[in-house]
């Protein structure tokens, strides 16, 4: 074999891995979808067989058609890399290669190629993930060598001698997986001449030979008859393809197969409230437990939220934190349908007496008992639990792809050693779009202890939540009865009147508020209003944002390294166009921050061929984060002083060929550190435009306009009682 062709092997093999993966149901399929924009991919089913066609970068011309007797016709011209395959696909992780007693593939193909073409039986194992290849014929080069490596074994199967190779990548990827090869010692077929090749491949014999050579086999994903061509022209007619196989329920050879930790069964019923699993600790449950050195727990009646008992978990500084876990049997949950990702929700009630707030993180842990396993920890969310009261942890969304060889746990872990009780653990149907997003349940308003009745016990809960919220901030849900996500005296009054029969109802707030936790974004579906908030923490209540239906909001953050919140309108992806004169910006807000913060109106305007980025700094604490305040103050005497609706601003501009920027800094900066300060202003956006360009002939278009808050390493809140961006 020519050395020059050996050098092609790595690229050729990598391309083949991609081509073969197109029709497979293994994880690499998702990776290939990313290439769909540049590679031609077609796959489907025909008469019980799956097929795939792949043409790298759509270079050259190809044709493919399924034919009778499970065959196909294919042609290729001036391609870079082209592959077709047809075979049997198996349900994932159901049949191990060690269970295969018989697997034979009969084929009959007419092929003409002029260079770098070969046919093989190829497929995939899962667990471990391996691509395998049984080469049948080639024209100009034999796929062997693997960087001149020696075969791991040689075997005779049905009168043909095969060399067995194992190719291991240092860091295997979906497109470049580890692979096994059986390569026959035979002559190539003739270039440029149609050749008929037919035979029977005993795939089961190759499985046994690989196992005897020390290669680890896995579960069958697919087994295909495949053709690949590299930088060549040609055609092929697969006249017939037939597959016969038998599979035992028992392992027939090889090392012990991995154990599946859960037995398949029908899913549990979903309750009317959407809950699938409820653990109230009134009865024994083998799936609950704790993790931690010298961990101890007991079922207690000292503290409970519902029923008479909860789980008490003891902790100490000596041994660190201890986690509660629930062993999740994935078969308990509803099965996926139509390849739609199923989302779930988990939560619980937690009580502690630490004398201060304690954060609890919730995670999904995926692991295995095998020696070469790995542990996956998916952080699902974080909640702050108040001392001396039950905290309702809800809306913790998660999803997972069930690996039948792995175990799963939902884990609750305190951020510090603390004794705590847990009650009412649950798993329910979820919704991806509700992650970190909470709507008020009006049907249960007033029933703060969730015992099904509204009485004096709920008044006591409300009173405790109101007292707890004093001095902590604004957002507190523990005593909220009117749906504004705040616990204050108005809630206590409304609830007390209802319990004393002074009022027949608990009126709801008209704000239509929604509460967001952690990093998130949302859109007001009735208009162009957009919302973004980020603290680099997913579903974490150290940052909370209340958004009202009129666009006003409350943003609250606690000890956050980086936090921003923006409420804006965006016309970039619409045909709607408005000029600056149609926008009256008005706001009224109370703001406090422990350190660096910027509060600004910012936006983007088009006029003619030019673009304006503008920032109107309404306030900042310390030196701010974006603005060059020092430079502005040093050059105050030469800095232009302008007004917006009578309010004075220092103006700094940066003029470019196609993009300009304007920064306006409010002269009477109203913000001070650690002090609640009131900010209020209004102006028409056309005033900003006038300071940029006095040319009235060019029409202007507003692309984006909003209020932006950003802070670093701070605690604070911003309560915008009013926030409007247009005359309507």
Tens-place pLDDT, residues 602-636 = 999 998 888 999 999 999 887 655 555 655 556 55
Output the pLDDT for position 367: 92
Enumerate domains of the chain plus CATH numbers. 3-247 (2.60.120.180), 275-435 (2.60.120.260), 442-499 (1.10.1330.10), 514-724 (2.60.120.180)
Residues 6+ apart with CB under 8 A from 91: none
Residues 6+ apart with CB under 8 A from 621: 593, 595, 596, 597, 671, 672, 673
Residues of the chain with pLDDT under 50: 1-37, 524-527
Output the pLDDT for position 127: 86
- Residue 582 sits at the vertex; the CA angle it makes with 580 and 588, to the nearest 5 degrees, is 95
Other CB atoms within a 10 A radius of the CB of residue 591 amount to 23
Reference 599, options 643, 555, 561; nearest CA is 555
Please indicate, yes or no, whether the overall pTM of this predicted structure exceeds 0.85. no
Output the pLDDT for position 728: 60
Please, what sign has the CA dihedral across residues 201, 207, 213, 215?
Answer: positive
SS3 content of the chain, % helix, strand, coil (to 5): 15, 45, 40
Asked if 555 contacts 485 with a C-beta cutoff of 8 angstroms, the reply is: no
Residues 6+ apart with CB under 8 A from 4: none
Q: Round to whole Å and give the CA distance between 57 and 38.
A: 5
Asked if 535 contacts 518 with a C-beta cutoff of 8 angstroms, the reply is: yes
Output the pLDDT for position 525: 42
Asked if 553 contacts 545 with a C-beta cutoff of 8 angstroms, the reply is: yes
Please, what sign has the CA dihedral across residues 56, 57, 60, 65?
Answer: positive
Write the burial class of residue 106 (CB in 10 Å: 0-12 exposed, 13-18 middle, 19+ buried).
middle
Other CB atoms within a 10 A radius of the CB of residue 121 amount to 23
Residue 424 gets the label, from left (phi > 0), alpha (psi -120 to 50) or beta, of left
Residues 6+ apart with CB under 8 A from 721: 552, 588, 589, 590
Output the pLDDT for position 281: 93
Asked if 106 contacts 92 with a C-beta cutoff of 8 angstroms, the reply is: no
Output the pLDDT for position 10: 31
Give CA torsion, residues 222, 225, 227, 228, to 10 deg.
Answer: 20
Output the pLDDT for position 6: 27
Output the pLDDT for position 78: 94
Give CA torsion, residues 435, 439, 441, 446, to 10 deg.
Answer: 110
Q: Note the maximum CA span of the chain.
A: 98
Q: Round to whole Å and give the CA distance between 394 and 66.
A: 52
The values of phi and psi at residue 421, to 5°, are -120, 145
Q: Round to whole Å and give the CA distance between 122 and 24.
A: 11
Residues 6+ apart with CB under 8 A from 19: 52, 54, 81, 82, 83, 84, 85, 226, 228
Integer CA distances (angstroms), 448 to 325, 458, 485, in order: 26, 5, 13
Q: Round to whole Å and give the CA distance between 182 and 546.
A: 63
Integer CA distances (angstroms), 443 to 452, 505, 535, 620, in order: 11, 12, 32, 42
């Amino acid at each position: 074999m020519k050395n020059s062709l050996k050098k092609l092997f790595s690229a050729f093999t990598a391309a083949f891995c991609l081509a073969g993966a197109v029709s497979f149901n293994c994880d690499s399929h998702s990776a290939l979808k990313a290439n769909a924009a540049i590679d031609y991919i077609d796959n489907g089913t025909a008469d019980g067989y799956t097929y795939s066609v792949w043409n790298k970068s759509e270079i050259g011309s190809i044709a493919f058609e399924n034919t009778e007797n499970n065959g196909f016709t294919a042609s290729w011209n001036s391609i870079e890399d082209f592959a077709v395959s047809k075979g049997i696909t198996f349900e994932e992780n159901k049949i191990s290669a060690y269970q295969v007693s018989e697997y034979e593939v009969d084929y009959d193909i007419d092929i003409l190629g002029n260079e770098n073409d070969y046919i093989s039986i190829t497929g995939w194992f899962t667990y471990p993930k391996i691509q395998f290849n049984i080469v049948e014929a080639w024209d100009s080069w034999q796929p062997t060598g693997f960087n001149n490596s020696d075969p791991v074994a040689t075997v005779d199967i049905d009168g043909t001698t095969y060399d067995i190779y194992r190719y291991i990548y240092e860091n295997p990827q979906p497109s470049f997986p580890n692979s096994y090869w059986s390569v026959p010692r035979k002559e190539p077929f003739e270039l440029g001449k149609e050749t008929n090749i037919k035979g029977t491949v005993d795939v089961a014999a190759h499985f046994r030979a690989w196992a005897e050579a020390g290669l680890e086999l896995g579960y069958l994903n697919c087994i295909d008859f495949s053709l690949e061509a590299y930088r060549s022209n040609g055609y092929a007619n697969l006249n017939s393809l037939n597959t016969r196989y038998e599979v035992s329920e028992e392992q027939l050879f090889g090392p012990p197969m991995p154990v599946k930790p859960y037995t398949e069964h029908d899913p549990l019923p979903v309750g009317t409230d959407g809950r699938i699993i409820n653990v109230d600790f009134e009865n024994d449950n083998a799936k609950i437990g704790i993790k931690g050195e010298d961990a101890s727990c007991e079922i207690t009646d000292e503290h409970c939220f519902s029923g008479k008992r909860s789980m008490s978990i003891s902790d100490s500084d000596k041994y660190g934190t201890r986690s509660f876990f629930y062993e999740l049997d994935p078969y308990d949950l509803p099965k996926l349908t139509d390849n739609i990702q199923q989302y779930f929700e988990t939560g619980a009630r937690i009580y502690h007496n630490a004398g201060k707030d304690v954060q609890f993180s919730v995670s999904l842990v995926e692991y295995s008992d095998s020696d070469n396993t790995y542990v996956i920890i998916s952080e699902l969310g974080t909640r702050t639990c108040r001392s001396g009261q039950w905290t309702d942890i809800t809306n913790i969304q998660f999803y997972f792809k069930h690996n039948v060889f792995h175990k799963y746990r939902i884990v609750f872990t305190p951020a510090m050693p603390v004794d705590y009780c847990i009650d009412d653990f649950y798993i329910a149907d979820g919704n991806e779009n509700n992650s970190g997003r909470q709507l008020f349940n009006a049907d249960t308003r007033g029933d703060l202890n969730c015992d099904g009745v509204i009485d004096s016990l709920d008044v006591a809960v409300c009173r405790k939540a109101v007292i707890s919220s004093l001095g902590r901030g604004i957002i507190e849900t523990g005593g909220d009865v009117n749906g504004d996500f705040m616990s204050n005296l108005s809630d206590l009054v409304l609830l007390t009147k209802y319990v004393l029969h002074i009022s027949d109802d608990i009126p709801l707030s008209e704000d239509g508020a929604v509460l967001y936790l952690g990093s998130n974004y949302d859109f007001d579906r009735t208009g162009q209003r957009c919302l973004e908030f980020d603290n680099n923490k997913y579903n974490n209540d150290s940052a909370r944002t209340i958004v009202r239906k009129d666009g006003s909001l409350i943003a609250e953050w606690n000890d956050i390294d980086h936090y921003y919140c923006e409420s804006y309108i965006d016309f970039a992806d619409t045909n709607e166009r408005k000029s600056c004169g149609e926008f009256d910006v008005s706001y009224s807000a109370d703001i406090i921050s422990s350190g660096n913060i910027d509060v600004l109106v910012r936006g983007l305007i088009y006029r003619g061929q030019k673009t304006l980025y503008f920032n109107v700094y309404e306030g900042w604490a310390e030196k701010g984060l974006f603005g060059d305040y020092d430079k502005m103050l040093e050059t105050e005497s030469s800095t232009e002083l302008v007004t917006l609706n009578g309010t004075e601003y220092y103006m700094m501009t940066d003029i470019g060929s196609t993009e300009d920027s304007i920064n306006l800094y409010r002269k009477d900066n109203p913000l001070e550190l650690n002090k609640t300060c009131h900010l209020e202003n209004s102006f028409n956006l056309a005033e900003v435009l006038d300071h940029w360009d006095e040319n009235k002939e060019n029409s202007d278009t507003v692309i984006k306009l909003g209020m932006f808050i950003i802070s670093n390493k701070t605690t604070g809140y911003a309560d915008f009682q009013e926030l409007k961006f247009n005359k309507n």
